[in-house]
């Protein structure tokens, strides 16, 4: 009975437009009342959710991304991609995906990716005669790479939700190959559509132009190298490498490049704070919510039900994927990770999946969720920049959904693709 | 008059949080410096930055509620007639007010209970950590109360330009 209140109330509140994090908070209060749990326990749970060392890296990742963005790095990455892949038909579409791949290696956030690359690429593509629906579809599907290509703050949240037994660096390393595969799949899709719709190609660049673009982009790309390199070699902890990346990004953008005045650091910090507040609020209330679910034995009930249905690992994997994809369409990433991991991870482990492998499969499902309505952060950001209804973008996204799902199934059923790099370094 | 005080308080809150973000970055960088150059890792840095993050997070909760900028689903609501939309919005804001009250009251109780325990690594009582919850509750409660009485209309987004 209480379980019904918990889930029912949450969905009703969410549908009537209560912010998702608040809906979880209010639901938790009502349920705690019903169960006669002192409300101050809920306060304790909410604070405990945020008060965790691994999460400390998140503000720095967001801040580094914002600084690089303001300091003109996105423009340089577009430039670099342009001289390399722009010569193909539909060149700008491929440039777009490729830039996201590079940017994903810096910011680690799909939304930052969609807004910064979208605001450069979408107007540029429109001007060159690309249809808006295609431009937005390419941008938002490309942006989802940010969640899979390291660093990804959602992987940190996953490691936390899994109870701390999973190393964040293994997760980061495991994301590299699937992220690149996803990028290639999206570029191929973008190319096929471009050929069909007869989009133009950019003029091929000379070797010299390539070198210049590379030289310009290197300082920005170094940020990603510092983060990944620092973690892989074990010189820095994840948090430290993220903070060093912030310092590095700040010095290159504001001290050496000086394209923008130092006063621009205030809006950068302000945007970082807003993004961080959203993420941390979701983490705080999801922690309370997940704690109540555990108290009501929901994880055990779900896994008993599911495992009594079948014990075929392939079918169970597919069921897990369907659950995650479904939740991905209606919920935001952080709450899904925090709420479902205690429930679904034990099931995944029981059929022999490695927690790192399951984590990457989950990130891939979340990536698809970011571009599917009714709740798809990247989709909304892209539609807003392109000034085009979400419905039109969704239509243009259909072939991209197909390629994303193909990659999802591929990495779900061929674990070697995911585990290959972490096993070398593990 | 009241609007002015609310606005000033709000600006001040933001600048306090911004400084916290800067301090957090600086001390973690100092930790790396200290470990490599001075061969010594100060133990107070991690707990202090964590404390700062919890504070930043919960004050962020309050500012996000004040601005109604937390992630919400508008796809269903926007299909309803205008009057129902207005009622739902009021209801949504009222629930936020209740949540603020919850953070305020329960936060005070919990912080009080924690007055005798200490944050490990820092010689500060745990109450300092939890005190941000009632503070955030207060920021939500007061601002929403004035929003309901028409004394507070939110902050104007100044030209925080995107390129």
Chain B residues inside the 8 Å CB shell of A377: 71
Helix axis angle, A57-70 relative to B2-37, nearest 10°?
100
Residue of B28, B60, B77 lying closest to A17 (CB–CB): B77
Residue of A nearest to B67 (CA): A274
Which of A22, A46, A246 lies closest to B96 in CB terms? A22
Q: pLDDT tens, position by position, for chain A (426 residues)?
A: 788 888 899 889 988 888 888 999 999 999 998 888 988 889 998 998 898 888 888 898 888 888 887 877 778 888 888 888 888 888 888 888 888 888 776 666 677 778 878 888 898 888 888 999 999 999 999 989 988 988 888 898 999 888 878 888 889 889 999 999 999 999 999 999 999 988 888 888 888 888 888 888 888 888 888 888 887 787 888 888 888 888 988 888 888 777 788 888 888 898 889 888 888 888 898 888 888 888 888 888 888 888 888 889 999 999 999 999 998 887 878 889 988 998 899 999 999 999 999 999 999 999 998 898 877 778 888 888 888 888 889 999 999 999 999 999 999 999 999 998 888 876
Residue B31 maps to a domain: yes
Q: How far apart are CA A325 and CA A362, in angstroms?
A: 9
Chosen from A9, A12, A16 to mutate, greatest number of chain B CBs within 10 A: A16
Domain count, chain B: 1
Q: Which residue has the tokens 């585990």?
A: A419
Of B53, B72, B162, the CB nearest to A119: B162
Mutate to test the interface with B, among A50, A73, A76, A373 (most CBs of B within 10 A): A50
8 Å CB contact between B136 and B59: yes
Question: How near does any CA of chain B get to the CA of A273, in Å?
Answer: 7
* CB contact set of A335 (below 8 Å; sequence gap of 6+): A20, A21, A24, A282, A286, A289
Contact B160 A17 (CB under 8 A): no
How far is the C-alpha of A162 from the C-alpha of A299, rounded, in Å? 13
CB contact under 8 A, B95 and A17: no
Is A423 strand, coil or helix? helix
Looking at residue A64, what is its pLDDT? 85
Q: Which of A17, A22, A277 lies closest to B60 in CB terms?
A: A277
Write the DSSP symbol of residue A254: I
On whether residue B37 sits in a domain, the answer given is yes
With CB atoms and an 8 Å threshold, state whether A276 touches B57.
yes
Q: Is residue B158 part of a domain?
A: no
Closest CA–CA distance from residue B29 to any residue of chain A (Å): 6
Return all residues near B132 (Cβ < 8 A) that are at least 6 apart: B54, B55, B58, B59
CA-based torsion, A8, A9, A13, A19: positive or negative: negative
**Residue B138 falls inside a structural domain:** yes
- pLDDT at residue number A105: 66
DSSP, res B118: B
Q: Which residue has the tokens 């990716």?
A: A113
A30 at interface of B, judged by CB pairs closer than 8 A: no
- B96: chain A residues, CB-CB within 8 Å: 19, 22
* Whether B134 contacts B142, CB under 8 Å: no
Structure tokens at A355: 């927690």
Distance CA A118, CA B122 (A): 44
Q: Is residue B159 part of a domain?
A: no
Cβ separation of A43 and B130 shorter than 8 Å? yes
Q: What is the pLDDT of residue B158?
A: 46
Q: Would the CB atoms of B106 and A243 count as touching at under 8 Å?
A: no
A46:B133 CB<8 A: yes
Stated as kind and residue range, the H or E segment containing B152 is: none
Q: Residue B73 falls within a domain, yes or no? A: yes
Rounded alpha-carbon distances, angstroms, from residue A346 to A161, A259, A295, A302, A408: 12, 50, 16, 11, 20
**Is residue A57 less than 8 Å (CB to CB) from chain B?**
no
Mean pLDDT by 10 residues, chain B (163 residues): 86 92 92 86 90 94 84 74 88 91 91 83 85 92 86 61 31
With respect to residue B118, please indicate whether it lies within any of the assigned structural domains.
yes
DSSP of A258-294: -SS-GGGHHHHHHHHHHHHHHHHHHHHHHHHHHHHHH
* pLDDT at B159 (0 to 100): 39
Residue A121 makes CB contacts below 8 A (sequence gap 6+) with A78, A92, A95, A96, A99, A135, A138, A139
How far is Cα A398 from Cα A394, in angstroms, rounded to an integer?
7
Comparing C-alpha atoms, which of A241, A266, A108, A248 is closest to residue B22? A266
Q: Say whether residue A253 is in contact with chain B using an 8 A CB cutoff.
A: no
Residues A236 and B36: their CA atoms lie apart, in Å, by 10
Residue the block writes with tokens 């500060």 = B124
CB distance from A421 to chain B under 8 Å?
A: no
- pLDDT for B161: 34
Nearest CB to B61 within list A53, A244, A281: A281
DSSP labels, A168-210: HHHHHHHHHHHHHHHHHHHHHHHHHHHHHHT--BPPPPPHHHH
B contact test, residue of A9, A30, A40 with most B CBs within 10 A:
A40
| Cα A113 to Cα A66, A141, A146, A150, distances in angstroms | 10, 10, 7, 13
Residue contact B53–A63, C-beta within 8 A: no
Contact predicate B51/B129, CB 8 Å: yes
Report how far apart the first and last C-alpha atoms of chain B are (Å, whole number).
36
Task: Spell out the residues 6+ positions from residue A263 whose beta carbon is closer than 8 angstroms to its own.
Answer: none
Among all residues of chain B, which has the CA nearest to that of A390?
B75
Spatial separation of the C-alpha atoms in residues A281 and B57, rounded to whole Å? 7
Residue B47 lies in a domain: yes
* pLDDT at site A106: 67
**Cα separation of A73 and B14, whole Å?**
27
Q: What is this structure's pTM?
A: 0.86
CB-side exposure of A246: number of CA atoms within 13 Å?
27
Question: What distance in Å separates residue A57's CA from the closest CA in chain B?
Answer: 10
Considering only the beta carbons, identify the residue of B50, B95, B133 that sits closest to A56.
B50
Give the pLDDT of residue A226. Answer: 83
Report the pLDDT value the prediction gives residue A171, as an integer from 0 to 100: 92
What ipTM goes with this model?
Answer: 0.89
CA distance A413 to chain B (A): 33
**Considering Cα of B7, then A278, then B53, then A152, what sign does the dihedral take?**
negative
Domain of residue B129, residue span? 2-148
Residue A166 in tokens: 């999973």
């Amino acid at each position: 009975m209480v379980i019904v209140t918990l889930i029912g109330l949450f969905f009703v509140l969410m549908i009537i437009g209560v912010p998702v994090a608040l809906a979880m908070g209010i639901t938790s209060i009502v349920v705690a009342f019903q169960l006669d749990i002192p409300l101050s326990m809920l306060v304790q749970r909410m604070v405990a959710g945020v008060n965790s060392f691994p999460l400390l890296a998140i503000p720095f990742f967001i801040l580094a991304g914002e600084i690089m963005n303001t300091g003109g790095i996105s423009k340089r990455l577009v430039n670099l991609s342009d001289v390399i892949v722009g010569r193909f038909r539909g060149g700008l579409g491929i440039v777009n995906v490729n830039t996201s791949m590079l940017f994903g290696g810096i910011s680690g956030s799909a939304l930052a990716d969609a807004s910064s690359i979208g605001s450069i690429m979408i107007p540029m593509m429109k001007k060159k005669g690309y249809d808006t629906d295609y431009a937005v579809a390419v941008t938002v599907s490309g942006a989802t790479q940010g969640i899979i290509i390291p660093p990804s703050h959602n992987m940190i949240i996953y490691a936390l939700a899994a109870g701390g037994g999973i190393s964040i660096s293994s997760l980061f390393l495991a994301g590299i190959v699937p992220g690149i595969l996803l990028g290639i799949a999206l570029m191929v899709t973008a190319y096929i559509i471009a050929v069909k719709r007869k989009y133009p190609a950019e003029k091929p660049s000379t070797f010299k132009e390539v070198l210049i673009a590379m030289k310009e982009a290197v300082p920005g790309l170094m940020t990603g190298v510092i983060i990944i390199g620092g973690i892989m070699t074990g010189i820095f902890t994840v948090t430290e490498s993220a903070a060093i990346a912030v310092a590095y990004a700040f010095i290159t953008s504001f001290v050496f490049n000086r394209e923008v005045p130092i006063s621009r650091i205030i809006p950068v910090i302000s945007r970082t704070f807003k993004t961080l507040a959203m993420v941390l609020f979701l983490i705080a209330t999801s922690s309370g919510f997940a704690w109540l679910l555990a108290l009501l034995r929901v994880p055990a009930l779900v896994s008993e039900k599911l495992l009594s249905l079948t014990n075929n690992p392939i079918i169970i994997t597919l069921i897990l994927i369907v659950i995650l994809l479904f939740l991905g369409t209606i919920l935001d990433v952080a709450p899904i990770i925090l709420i479902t991991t205690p429930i679904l991870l034990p099931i995944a482990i029981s059929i022999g999946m490695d927690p790192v492998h399951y984590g990457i499969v989950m990130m891939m499902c979340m990536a698809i969720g970011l571009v599917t309505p009714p709740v798809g952060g990247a989709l909304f950001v892209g539609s807003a920049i392109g000034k085009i209804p979400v419905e039109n973008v969704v239509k243009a996204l259909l072939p991209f959904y197909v390629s994303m799902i193909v990659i999802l199934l591929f990495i779900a059923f061929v674990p070697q693709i995911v585990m290959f790099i972490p096993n070398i370094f593990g | 008059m009241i609007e002015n005080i609310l606005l000033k308080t709000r600006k001040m809150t933001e600048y306090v949080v911004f400084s916290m973000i800067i301090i957090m970055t600086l001390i973690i960088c100092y930790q790396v410096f200290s470990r490599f150059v001075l061969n010594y890792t100060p133990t107070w840095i991690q707990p202090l930055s964590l404390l700062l993050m919890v504070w930043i997070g919960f004050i962020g909760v309050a500012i996000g509620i004040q601005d109604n900028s937390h992630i919400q689903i508008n796809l269903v609501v926007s299909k309803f007639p205008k009057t129902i939309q207005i009622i739902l919005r009021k209801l949504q804001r009222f629930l936020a007010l209740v949540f603020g009250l919850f953070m305020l009251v329960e936060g005070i109780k919990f912080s009080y209970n924690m007055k005798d325990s200490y944050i490990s690594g820092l010689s500060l009582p745990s109450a300092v950590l939890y005190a941000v919850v009632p503070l955030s509750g207060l920021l939500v409660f007061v601002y929403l109360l004035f929003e309901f009485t028409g004394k507070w209309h939110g902050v104007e987004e100044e030209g925080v330009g995107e390129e």
